[in-house]
Copies of this chain bind each other. A is one copy, B any other.
């Protein structure tokens, strides 16, 4: 019986990790696990895990642990992985091709139904068994397919015009790989950003400020 009210954002951010890990246990044939074992493998304290998982109801049992399959299923329900949100991907360049080919959209709540680009040399090429379509045909595509989410693997400078086109078509959710801030113009949009540049800059800062990380023996 899930108690889903008032789950804090910091718990939410840990859910994908629990979900991933429980599914791995399931594949390994593990049927139950104690919070102590879970904590050792996840690098969290057992009490934090107990607290987090209590938000989703009574799956833990004193001295018995969690039933892996049941807990994985419940967290999957909370995440909404069965929704299969119809997804289009914009941008069939290096990054877009990698994301299309690499990601298990179907395992993660989405269904990739179309890949779009406006470069003639990319339109018609095949990624993941799907022909890249011309962006010009997107409105027609929407009539039949009603996409709900767009993964944007296009340059920063192209994002504003693209969202201006997608938003009125009912696409209000974005997986955004650019540094353009969609919510400045569309505060209601649901946007998850992947900022690869910022991640690399943060790593640079952390190396620069950690004498262990760039010790003398590795210098030229």
Judge whether A172 and B213 touch: CB under 8 Å: yes
- Determine the distance from Cα of A6 to Cα of B148 in the docked complex, in whole angstroms: 44
A31 located at the interface, meaning its Cβ lies under 8 Å from any Cβ of chain B in the complex: no
Mask, A5-36, CB within 8 Å of B = 1, is 00000001101110110000000000000000
- Determine the distance from Cα of A2 to Cα of B184 in the docked complex, in whole angstroms: 31
For chain A, give the interface size range: 35 or more
A81 located at the interface, meaning its Cβ lies under 8 Å from any Cβ of chain B in the complex: yes
A43 located at the interface, meaning its Cβ lies under 8 Å from any Cβ of chain B in the complex: yes
- Determine the distance from Cα of A40 to Cα of B20 in the docked complex, in whole angstroms: 38
Complex: chain B residue closest to A101, CB-CB: B94
A50 located at the interface, meaning its Cβ lies under 8 Å from any Cβ of chain B in the complex: no
A199 located at the interface, meaning its Cβ lies under 8 Å from any Cβ of chain B in the complex: yes
Q: Which residues of A123-169 have CB atoms within 8 Å of chain B's CB atoms?
A: 146-149
A3 located at the interface, meaning its Cβ lies under 8 Å from any Cβ of chain B in the complex: no
Report B-chain residues with C-beta under 8 Å of the C-beta of A55. none
Which A residues lie at the B interface, using CB under 8 A? 12-13, 15-17, 19-20, 43, 78-81, 83, 85-86, 93-95, 97-99, 101-105, 108-110, 146-149, 170-173, 175, 179, 181, 183-184, 188-190, 192, 194-210, 212-215, 217-220
Which 6 pairs between the two chains have the least Cβ-Cβ distance?
A80-B208, A109-B204, A98-B98, A170-B218, A16-B198, A16-B201
5 pairs of residues in contact across A and B, judged by CB atoms under 8 Å: A16-B198, A109-B208, A149-B203, A172-B212, A192-B206
